[in-house]
Amino acid sequence: MKVTRTRRAFAVVAALGMTLAACGGDSDDSAADAPAPAAEEPAAEEPAAEEPADEPAADEPADEPADEPAAEEPAAAPVCAELSQGASDGAIKIGTTEPLSGAAATAGEAFKAGIEAAAQAINDGGGINGRQIELTILDDGFEAARSVGNVRRLGDEEQVFAIVSPAGSANLPGSWDYLSEKGLPMFGPVLPPDPDLQEVYLIGTGHSDQVRLIVDWLAGEGVTSVGLLRQDNDLGAAFKAGLEEQAPKHGIEIVAEEIVEPNSTDVSNQVLKIRDADPGAVISGADNIQTALLLDQAYDLGWDPIIIGNSSTAGPGAVGTVGAAAPEAAEGFYGSAILSFTNEQSDAVLAYRSAMEAAGHGDLADNSFGLQGYAHSVIFYAALESMGDDLCWDNLHATLESMENFETGLVAPVTFGPLPGGHSGTSGARIAQYTGGEWEFITGFLNPMD
């Protein structure tokens, strides 16, 4: 049942122009795993009855057993007693909250574009089992209070079935209690710490684990001391936790830790203090604009340590961070990447770019945050497709927790399982470098050292 459910999702990704292989590298489709229905055969003739010793007269017809109708198999009981909110015969309501204004607006607009592109591709292909996707996308300005308010609005007023790919690593944890109380699913939030809640499913290696593998990589590069620039929030706390866990394993000294407020556009004092500590590398746990300011100010100071962020703060493959910095300052910048690059020539990436063009977002197709929102949506819609008409939250959890090695060609293979610990769907990241105006991978997928 697990494999079949996952593989039935092929129909939805076919609508996106992609071929996904689910589970164990098997290339067969869902029919390969479902037992083939028996071919219809004419009813078997009743075997001739043994003739009694006293044969009836020729003009007396022999008694023949009456044909008994074949017993009908009972129809499978529906999984759901009723549809959950946001699901109807003709539509499925999906919502999200993104920073469409404020310091992270570049990333937020790209997330919105990718989410819209995936929904339009699904709808143009006939929808999810005939149901159209109806999107509600709200702006939170990268502010925690607005993010929390938006999540409540989506659940209580908009009555969405699920929240998909919301951004704001530091802001989203403020909604955990509400999601748990209401039972509202959130799929693919952009890298908050894993709350280990039934309602929350993560795609992508978390911030702490990305920092841990960054530290492993820095140790391999001969780095013996690091500085940390981080925000004063959950995002920054995750960076601090990952660094403090991993640095002692390599004998790396943490020589500086400077904090910047979210949405602040002044990091000059913090950069000077880190520079004075003379670390061999600086890890950025700040937002895209603040990380770009770090790059610019380091360049202006003539200071040249390794500077590295993760998939959110560096945005490998995207222009959110490097595009906000001077070209010469961004040269040589590093980041950990959990996604394919938007300029790859794979079928999956080309399908993404085609969907972005069709949705009128071709100008944002090079932004990896668009690819991230699109990829998260593809995985979620594949799960919905496999649910058939049983669109309730209990069945969504059962379906997602049975997903195993689901491949999109856009992120690492996705596997979920039950709690505790089963709702982080991927692991590992690659290190990339920005050079000559382009991002390029310099490692394969790495997992943090235990």
Are 437 and 307 within one domain? yes
Q: pLDDT tier at 427 (50, 70, 90 boundaries)? A: confident
Q: pLDDT tier at 7 (50, 70, 90 boundaries)? A: very low
Are 328 and 399 within one domain? no
Distance of CA 51 to the CA centre of its chain: 71
Q: State yes or no: pLDDT of 210 exceeds 90.
A: yes
For 37-64, the pLDDT digits (tens) are 333 333 333 344 444 444 434 444 444 4
Residue environment code for 221-244, b if the CB has 16+ CB neighbours within 10 A, otherwise e: eebebbbbbbbebbbbbbbbebbe
DSSP-based three-state secondary structure for 306: strand
- Report yes or no on 75 lying in a domain: no
Average pLDDT estimate for 83-99:
98
Q: pLDDT tier at 317 (50, 70, 90 boundaries)? A: confident
Are 313 and 369 within one domain? no
Both tokens of 146, joined, read 């607005």
pLDDT for 282: 98
Segments forming the whole domain that contains residue 198: 91-205+342-419
Are 194 and 212 within one domain? no
- Report yes or no on 424 lying in a domain: no
Average pLDDT, the chain: 86
**CATH number, domain containing residue 150:** 3.40.50.2300
Are 214 and 122 within one domain? no
pLDDT for 63: 47
- Report yes or no on 146 lying in a domain: yes
Range 392-395, long-range pairs (CB < 8 A, 24+ positions)? 392/79, 392/80, 392/81, 392/82, 392/83, 392/84, 392/87, 393/84, 393/183, 393/184, 393/185, 394/79, 394/80, 395/79, 395/80
Average pLDDT estimate for 315-335:
94
Are 96 and 192 within one domain? yes
Task: Please tell me the pTM assigned to this model.
Answer: 0.72
- Report yes or no on 6 lying in a domain: no
pLDDT for 37: 34
pLDDT for 72: 53
- Report yes or no on 83 lying in a domain: no
Of 41-55, 343-357, 391-405, the range with the lowest mean pLDDT is 41-55
Of 19-33, 80-94, 273-287, the range with the lowest mean pLDDT is 19-33
Q: State yes or no: pLDDT of 429 exceeds 80.
A: yes
Are 160 and 99 within one domain? yes
Are 97 and 162 within one domain? yes
User: β-pairing, 132-139 with 91-98?
Assistant: parallel
Other C-beta atoms lying within 10 Å of the C-beta of residue 430 = 22
User: β-pairing, 91-98 with 162-164?
Assistant: parallel
pLDDT for 73: 52
Maximum separation of any 2 CA atoms in the chain, in Å: 118
Q: State yes or no: pLDDT of 18 exceeds 90.
A: no
Alpha helices in 278-367, H assignment, sequence order: 288-300, 327-330, 347-358
Quote the CA–CA distance of 192 and 177 in Å, as a whole number. 14
pLDDT for 21: 35
More confident call, 36 vs 288: 288
Of 34-38, 202-206, 338-342, 360-364, the range with the lowest mean pLDDT is 34-38
Q: State yes or no: pLDDT of 258 exceeds 50.
A: yes
pLDDT for 445: 84
Are 189 and 211 within one domain? no
- Report yes or no on 21 lying in a domain: no
Are 297 and 436 within one domain? yes
- Report yes or no on 181 lying in a domain: yes
Are 289 and 398 within one domain? no
**What's the number of domains the chain is made of?**
2
Are 214 and 190 within one domain? no
Among residues of the chain, what percentage have pLDDT more than 70? Answer: 83
For 138-168, the pLDDT digits (tens) are 999 999 999 999 999 999 999 999 999 999 8
- Report yes or no on 196 lying in a domain: yes
